[in-house]
Amino acid sequence: MDIDVSLVRRLILKQFPRWAGLLIKPVELSGWDNRTFRLGDDMTVRLPSHEAYEAQVKKEQQWLPRLASRLPIAIPTPIAMGTPSEEYPLHWSIYRWIDGENATTERITNLNDFAIELAQFLNTLQQIDANGGPPPGAHNFYRGGPLGIYDRETRNAIADLNGMIDRVGAITVWESAIQTVWNTPPVWVHGDVYPTNLLVKDRRLSAVIDFGCSGVGDPACDLTIAWTFFFGESRETFRSHLQLDDATWERARGWALWKALTTIAYPSNYPSGRLEESLRVIKDVIAEHKPR
Protein backbone atom coordinates (compact mmCIF):
# COMPACT_ATOMS: atom_id res chain seq x y z
CA MET A 1 0.00 0.00 0.00
CA ASP A 2 1.00 3.61 -0.52
CA ILE A 3 1.52 4.62 3.10
CA ASP A 4 3.15 7.97 3.84
CA VAL A 5 3.24 10.77 6.40
CA SER A 6 0.28 12.51 4.78
CA LEU A 7 -1.93 9.43 5.20
CA VAL A 8 -0.84 8.93 8.81
CA ARG A 9 -1.56 12.60 9.57
CA ARG A 10 -5.09 12.30 8.17
CA LEU A 11 -5.75 9.09 10.11
CA ILE A 12 -4.56 10.63 13.36
CA LEU A 13 -6.64 13.75 12.77
CA LYS A 14 -9.84 11.76 12.20
CA GLN A 15 -9.44 8.98 14.75
CA PHE A 16 -7.19 10.45 17.46
CA PRO A 17 -7.56 14.24 17.16
CA ARG A 18 -5.93 14.83 20.56
CA TRP A 19 -2.61 13.91 18.92
CA ALA A 20 -3.21 15.79 15.65
CA GLY A 21 -0.67 18.51 16.45
CA LEU A 22 2.25 16.15 17.01
CA LEU A 23 5.10 15.83 14.54
CA ILE A 24 4.94 12.70 12.34
CA LYS A 25 8.00 11.34 10.57
CA PRO A 26 9.10 7.93 9.18
CA VAL A 27 11.52 5.88 11.24
CA GLU A 28 14.89 5.00 9.72
CA LEU A 29 14.10 1.30 9.26
CA SER A 30 10.36 1.08 8.71
CA GLY A 31 9.99 -2.67 8.36
CA TRP A 32 8.53 -5.00 5.75
CA ASP A 33 5.20 -6.16 7.20
CA ASN A 34 4.41 -2.68 8.51
CA ARG A 35 5.21 0.96 7.79
CA THR A 36 6.34 2.69 10.96
CA PHE A 37 6.29 6.37 11.89
CA ARG A 38 7.32 8.42 14.91
CA LEU A 39 4.40 10.29 16.49
CA GLY A 40 5.66 13.13 18.67
CA ASP A 41 8.38 12.18 21.15
CA ASP A 42 6.68 9.30 22.92
CA MET A 43 4.72 7.26 20.40
CA THR A 44 5.03 5.25 17.19
CA VAL A 45 2.42 4.42 14.56
CA ARG A 46 2.50 1.11 12.68
CA LEU A 47 0.32 0.36 9.67
CA PRO A 48 0.29 -3.08 7.99
CA SER A 49 1.63 -2.84 4.46
CA HIS A 50 -0.75 -5.55 3.19
CA GLU A 51 -3.96 -7.19 4.38
CA ALA A 52 -1.99 -10.39 5.03
CA TYR A 53 -0.44 -8.66 8.05
CA GLU A 54 -3.60 -7.16 9.56
CA ALA A 55 -4.27 -10.06 11.96
CA GLN A 56 -1.00 -9.19 13.69
CA VAL A 57 -2.46 -5.90 14.94
CA LYS A 58 -5.21 -7.35 17.14
CA LYS A 59 -2.90 -10.12 18.31
CA GLU A 60 -0.30 -7.63 19.56
CA GLN A 61 -2.99 -5.48 21.16
CA GLN A 62 -4.26 -8.49 23.09
CA TRP A 63 -1.07 -10.27 24.08
CA LEU A 64 1.78 -7.78 24.41
CA PRO A 65 0.46 -6.26 27.66
CA ARG A 66 0.27 -9.76 29.15
CA LEU A 67 3.80 -10.65 28.10
CA ALA A 68 5.47 -7.36 29.04
CA SER A 69 5.32 -7.71 32.81
CA ARG A 70 6.97 -11.14 32.66
CA LEU A 71 9.92 -10.25 30.44
CA PRO A 72 13.32 -8.90 31.56
CA ILE A 73 13.57 -6.15 28.92
CA ALA A 74 11.19 -3.81 27.15
CA ILE A 75 8.75 -4.85 24.43
CA PRO A 76 6.20 -2.65 22.60
CA THR A 77 3.31 -1.27 24.64
CA PRO A 78 0.06 -0.75 22.68
CA ILE A 79 -1.69 2.56 23.40
CA ALA A 80 -4.49 2.59 20.84
CA MET A 81 -5.82 0.74 17.82
CA GLY A 82 -6.98 2.50 14.67
CA THR A 83 -9.94 1.16 12.73
CA PRO A 84 -10.42 0.62 8.98
CA SER A 85 -11.61 3.58 6.94
CA GLU A 86 -12.07 4.62 3.32
CA GLU A 87 -8.52 5.96 3.22
CA TYR A 88 -6.92 2.96 4.86
CA PRO A 89 -8.91 -0.32 4.97
CA LEU A 90 -7.06 -2.13 7.79
CA HIS A 91 -6.66 -1.99 11.56
CA TRP A 92 -3.47 -0.27 12.73
CA SER A 93 -1.72 0.48 16.02
CA ILE A 94 -0.15 3.19 18.13
CA TYR A 95 2.55 2.14 20.60
CA ARG A 96 4.78 3.82 23.11
CA TRP A 97 8.12 4.80 21.61
CA ILE A 98 11.11 2.76 22.83
CA ASP A 99 14.51 4.43 22.73
CA GLY A 100 17.33 2.45 21.18
CA GLU A 101 19.10 1.63 17.94
CA ASN A 102 18.81 -1.47 15.78
CA ALA A 103 21.41 -4.07 16.73
CA THR A 104 24.65 -4.12 14.77
CA THR A 105 27.99 -5.57 15.80
CA GLU A 106 29.45 -2.04 15.86
CA ARG A 107 26.87 -0.90 18.43
CA ILE A 108 27.52 -3.78 20.85
CA THR A 109 30.39 -3.86 23.33
CA ASN A 110 30.69 -7.62 23.60
CA LEU A 111 28.90 -9.96 21.19
CA ASN A 112 29.17 -12.90 23.59
CA ASP A 113 27.43 -10.92 26.33
CA PHE A 114 24.78 -9.88 23.83
CA ALA A 115 24.27 -13.53 22.89
CA ILE A 116 23.72 -14.41 26.55
CA GLU A 117 21.26 -11.54 27.03
CA LEU A 118 19.23 -12.62 24.01
CA ALA A 119 19.27 -16.28 25.05
CA GLN A 120 18.04 -15.31 28.53
CA PHE A 121 15.24 -13.26 26.99
CA LEU A 122 14.13 -16.23 24.86
CA ASN A 123 14.37 -18.60 27.81
CA THR A 124 12.10 -16.31 29.83
CA LEU A 125 9.66 -15.89 26.95
CA GLN A 126 9.40 -19.66 26.62
CA GLN A 127 8.61 -20.02 30.33
CA ILE A 128 5.53 -17.76 30.19
CA ASP A 129 2.22 -19.62 30.36
CA ALA A 130 1.25 -20.34 26.75
CA ASN A 131 -2.30 -21.53 27.45
CA GLY A 132 -4.72 -19.81 25.11
CA GLY A 133 -1.96 -18.25 23.06
CA PRO A 134 -2.30 -18.05 19.27
CA PRO A 135 -1.20 -21.30 17.59
CA PRO A 136 0.81 -21.23 14.36
CA GLY A 137 -1.21 -20.15 11.35
CA ALA A 138 -1.53 -17.66 8.53
CA HIS A 139 -1.31 -14.78 11.03
CA ASN A 140 2.39 -15.55 11.66
CA PHE A 141 3.25 -17.56 8.55
CA TYR A 142 3.29 -20.75 10.65
CA ARG A 143 6.21 -19.73 12.85
CA GLY A 144 6.28 -22.23 15.70
CA GLY A 145 4.61 -24.86 13.55
CA PRO A 146 6.09 -27.98 11.93
CA LEU A 147 8.97 -27.11 9.65
CA GLY A 148 7.62 -29.53 7.05
CA ILE A 149 4.95 -27.04 6.01
CA TYR A 150 7.66 -25.40 3.90
CA ASP A 151 9.02 -28.66 2.50
CA ARG A 152 7.90 -28.16 -1.10
CA GLU A 153 8.92 -24.49 -1.17
CA THR A 154 12.36 -25.33 0.23
CA ARG A 155 13.02 -28.18 -2.18
CA ASN A 156 11.90 -26.05 -5.12
CA ALA A 157 14.23 -23.26 -4.02
CA ILE A 158 17.14 -25.70 -3.70
CA ALA A 159 16.46 -26.95 -7.22
CA ASP A 160 16.16 -23.39 -8.58
CA LEU A 161 19.47 -22.38 -7.01
CA ASN A 162 21.44 -25.40 -8.18
CA GLY A 163 24.86 -24.13 -9.23
CA MET A 164 24.68 -21.18 -6.85
CA ILE A 165 24.65 -23.26 -3.65
CA ASP A 166 25.73 -26.71 -2.47
CA ARG A 167 22.55 -28.54 -3.46
CA VAL A 168 23.44 -31.87 -1.82
CA GLY A 169 24.52 -30.17 1.40
CA ALA A 170 21.33 -28.10 1.53
CA ILE A 171 19.13 -31.16 1.01
CA THR A 172 21.01 -33.01 3.76
CA VAL A 173 20.49 -30.19 6.25
CA TRP A 174 16.83 -29.86 5.32
CA GLU A 175 15.98 -33.57 5.51
CA SER A 176 17.73 -33.87 8.85
CA ALA A 177 15.76 -30.90 10.20
CA ILE A 178 12.29 -32.07 9.14
CA GLN A 179 12.85 -35.50 10.66
CA THR A 180 12.79 -34.01 14.17
CA VAL A 181 9.66 -32.81 15.95
CA TRP A 182 8.76 -30.72 18.99
CA ASN A 183 7.20 -33.17 21.45
CA THR A 184 6.89 -30.72 24.34
CA PRO A 185 3.88 -28.48 25.12
CA PRO A 186 3.89 -25.30 23.01
CA VAL A 187 5.82 -22.27 24.26
CA TRP A 188 5.76 -18.60 23.32
CA VAL A 189 7.80 -17.67 20.25
CA HIS A 190 8.63 -14.21 18.93
CA GLY A 191 8.69 -15.47 15.35
CA ASP A 192 11.08 -12.94 13.81
CA VAL A 193 14.22 -12.61 15.94
CA TYR A 194 16.30 -10.52 13.56
CA PRO A 195 18.76 -7.67 14.28
CA THR A 196 16.29 -5.01 13.07
CA ASN A 197 13.87 -6.20 15.78
CA LEU A 198 16.48 -5.99 18.55
CA LEU A 199 17.24 -2.61 20.08
CA VAL A 200 20.51 -1.62 21.70
CA LYS A 201 21.04 1.10 24.29
CA ASP A 202 24.32 1.78 26.07
CA ARG A 203 25.76 -0.96 23.83
CA ARG A 204 23.56 -3.70 25.37
CA LEU A 205 20.28 -5.39 24.43
CA SER A 206 17.54 -3.05 25.64
CA ALA A 207 14.34 -4.10 23.86
CA VAL A 208 12.78 -6.63 21.49
CA ILE A 209 10.19 -5.23 19.09
CA ASP A 210 7.78 -6.37 16.35
CA PHE A 211 5.86 -9.35 17.72
CA GLY A 212 3.73 -9.63 14.57
CA CYS A 213 4.90 -13.21 13.95
CA SER A 214 4.52 -14.27 17.57
CA GLY A 215 2.54 -17.28 18.68
CA VAL A 216 2.85 -20.47 20.68
CA GLY A 217 4.55 -23.61 19.42
CA ASP A 218 8.06 -24.88 18.64
CA PRO A 219 10.75 -22.30 19.56
CA ALA A 220 13.19 -23.47 16.85
CA CYS A 221 12.12 -20.61 14.55
CA ASP A 222 13.48 -18.07 17.07
CA LEU A 223 17.03 -19.41 16.81
CA THR A 224 17.82 -18.45 13.22
CA ILE A 225 19.66 -15.37 14.50
CA ALA A 226 22.43 -17.80 15.45
CA TRP A 227 23.39 -17.70 11.76
CA THR A 228 22.08 -14.31 10.61
CA PHE A 229 23.90 -12.34 13.33
CA PHE A 230 26.14 -14.49 15.51
CA PHE A 231 29.22 -16.39 14.37
CA GLY A 232 32.06 -18.43 15.85
CA GLU A 233 32.29 -18.08 19.62
CA SER A 234 29.18 -15.89 19.94
CA ARG A 235 27.08 -18.50 18.13
CA GLU A 236 28.29 -21.20 20.49
CA THR A 237 27.69 -18.91 23.46
CA PHE A 238 24.13 -18.30 22.29
CA ARG A 239 23.50 -22.01 21.87
CA SER A 240 25.02 -22.98 25.23
CA HIS A 241 22.76 -20.57 27.14
CA LEU A 242 19.52 -21.76 25.55
CA GLN A 243 17.42 -24.25 27.47
CA LEU A 244 16.75 -26.37 24.40
CA ASP A 245 17.90 -29.72 23.05
CA ASP A 246 19.98 -30.69 20.02
CA ALA A 247 16.90 -31.60 17.96
CA THR A 248 15.57 -28.06 18.35
CA TRP A 249 18.91 -26.70 17.14
CA GLU A 250 18.63 -29.09 14.19
CA ARG A 251 15.24 -27.62 13.27
CA ALA A 252 16.61 -24.13 13.80
CA ARG A 253 19.18 -24.84 11.09
CA GLY A 254 16.28 -25.86 8.88
CA TRP A 255 14.43 -22.60 9.56
CA ALA A 256 17.59 -20.61 8.81
CA LEU A 257 18.13 -22.56 5.60
CA TRP A 258 14.51 -22.10 4.46
CA LYS A 259 14.56 -18.36 5.05
CA ALA A 260 17.91 -17.89 3.30
CA LEU A 261 16.89 -20.03 0.32
CA THR A 262 13.57 -18.29 -0.21
CA THR A 263 15.12 -14.86 0.21
CA ILE A 264 17.36 -15.62 -2.77
CA ALA A 265 14.90 -17.64 -4.86
CA TYR A 266 11.91 -15.33 -4.32
CA PRO A 267 13.44 -11.89 -3.70
CA SER A 268 10.21 -9.97 -4.30
CA ASN A 269 8.84 -11.44 -1.06
CA TYR A 270 11.61 -9.97 1.10
CA PRO A 271 13.51 -6.73 1.71
CA SER A 272 16.30 -6.09 -0.77
CA GLY A 273 20.00 -6.36 -0.01
CA ARG A 274 20.07 -9.75 1.69
CA LEU A 275 21.72 -11.83 -1.03
CA GLU A 276 25.19 -11.85 0.53
CA GLU A 277 23.85 -12.61 4.00
CA SER A 278 21.63 -15.41 2.71
CA LEU A 279 24.45 -17.09 0.82
CA ARG A 280 26.61 -16.93 3.95
CA VAL A 281 23.84 -18.43 6.09
CA ILE A 282 23.39 -21.32 3.66
CA LYS A 283 27.11 -21.97 3.63
CA ASP A 284 27.32 -21.84 7.44
CA VAL A 285 24.42 -24.19 8.18
CA ILE A 286 25.77 -26.72 5.69
CA ALA A 287 29.31 -26.49 7.13
CA GLU A 288 28.04 -26.86 10.70
CA HIS A 289 25.74 -29.80 10.01
CA LYS A 290 27.00 -33.23 10.92
CA PRO A 291 24.92 -36.14 9.58
CA ARG A 292 23.56 -38.36 12.27
pLDDT in tens, 273-282: 689 999 999 9
Report the pLDDT averaged over residues 71-84. Answer: 97
Indicate where the chain has its CATH 3.30.200.20 domain(s).
Answer: 5-96
Distance CA 140, CA 53 (A): 8
Cβ atoms of residues 239 and 264 within 8 Å = no
Report the pLDDT averaged over residues 264-283. Answer: 84
Whole-model pTM: value is 0.94
- What is the pLDDT at residue 279? 95
CATH 3.40.50.2300 is held by the domain 5-96: no
As to burial, measured by CB atoms within 10 angstroms (0-12 exposed, 13-18 middle, 19+ buried), residue 232 is: exposed
Indicate where the chain has its CATH 3.90.1200.10 domain(s).
Answer: 101-288
- What is the pLDDT at residue 116? 98
CA separation, residue 75 to residues 71, 201, 209, 258 (Å): 8, 14, 6, 27
Distance CA 254, CA 9 (A): 42
- What is the pLDDT at residue 269? 63
Which of these ranges, 33-37, 113-117, 124-128, 173-177, has the smallest mean pLDDT? 33-37
Q: What is the CATH number of domain 101-288?
A: 3.90.1200.10
Cα of first residue to Cα of last residue in the chain, in angstroms, is 47
Q: In DSSP terms, which residues pair with 189 in a beta bridge?
A: 215
pLDDT digits (tens, 9 = 90+) for 144-157: 999 999 999 999 99
- What is the pLDDT at residue 290? 63
